[in-house]
Structure 1
Amino acid sequence: MTGERERPDLTEIEQNAMHEVEVGVEWMLRAQGHLLAFHHAIGHGMDHLDAAEQPLRDAGYPALADHIRDDLLSRGVTADDRWTYSVVEEFQRSFLPALTEFESEARETITDGRRHVAERAQEKTWRERANR
């Protein structure tokens, strides 16, 4: 235990609900990581296309080099021409704060601000079982 006070009046339904909220938020945070990985992967791929432009031109393929320069490097990755950094920023600016605010509100309302109540209950049960 971490020294956080117990709340014996927390029902199993409340405990399960908060567990689902917390796990949902954790998955959304993982999604943010995937968005960042996507952003970095696109950037890395674009760097390679940029590096290919001049060798294609030097090898006698100016149309392919022009296609990289004019059509691929200059465009966004979404249908509305947004770049990956824009998608990451929008997620971080709009969705993520609303999500974390909701989690905080739910935690304060249901568990008096305590986190991971389901895991703490599981830890307590398993330790009690081990000590028998």
Structure 2
Amino acid sequence: MEEFPVAKSSQRRRPDGVDDNTVEALGKLSEALETVERARGYLYDFHQLVGGADIKLDEAATMFENAGHPDIAAKIRTELIGLNVLDGRWTFQVVEEFDDGYWSTFRAVEKHARDNLVQGVRHVFEAEMKEDRRTEGRVGHEPEPPH
């Protein structure tokens, strides 16, 4: 296991007594949360794409009517427009259920771990890796932005 020096920035410093294994575990938990955040973004993309498609169905139905195909237009209007994407749910309900359940719980557990193990400090693992990899005194390698 590679050891990283304690970050010099007081904002991201590893609290006294916190071992490398704990910092690595918190780093992995943070990485998992970041992956879920990306998945959440895709869920919102899904929500907006399906909603946009539903609106386009109105246009398609009108176009079928104008082209002399009222039966196709009626089928679109009665069977597709307004159809639940999951049992009893439109996409906004899927997003809300995900946000209120899995996503909120994940964030709370990750925060609980940080609060209890490193006094709430975020990204300790990454801050220590940055400190190890940067060149002291080199422009663009500063430990923190200027305040």
Q: TM-score, normalised by structure 1?
A: 0.88
Determine whether 1:85 maps to 2:92: yes
Unaligned 5+ segments in structure 1 are none
Q: Does 1:61 align with 2:73?
A: no
Q: CA deviation at 1:2?
A: 4.6
- Residue type matched to 1:13 in 2? N
Match of 2:49 among 18, 41, 47: 41
Tell me the residue number matched to 1:116: 123
Distance 2:129 2:101 in 1: 34
Identity over aligned residues, as a percent?
30
Q: Deviations over 1:60-113 (max 9, x none)?
A: 1112101110000121112x1411000001111122221111011100122121
Could you say what the CA RMSD is over the residues aligned between the two structures, in angstroms?
Answer: 1.7
Of 106, 112, 120, which residue of structure 1 is paired with 2:113?
106
Q: 1:75·1:81 contact (CA, 8 Å) conserved in 2?
A: no
Question: Structure 2 length normalisation: TM-score?
Answer: 0.80
Which of the pair is proportionally richer in helix? 1
Q: Which runs of 5+ in 2 are unaligned?
A: 1-7, 138-147
> Is the Cα–Cα contact under 8 Å of residues 19 and 116 in structure 1 kept in the other structure?
yes
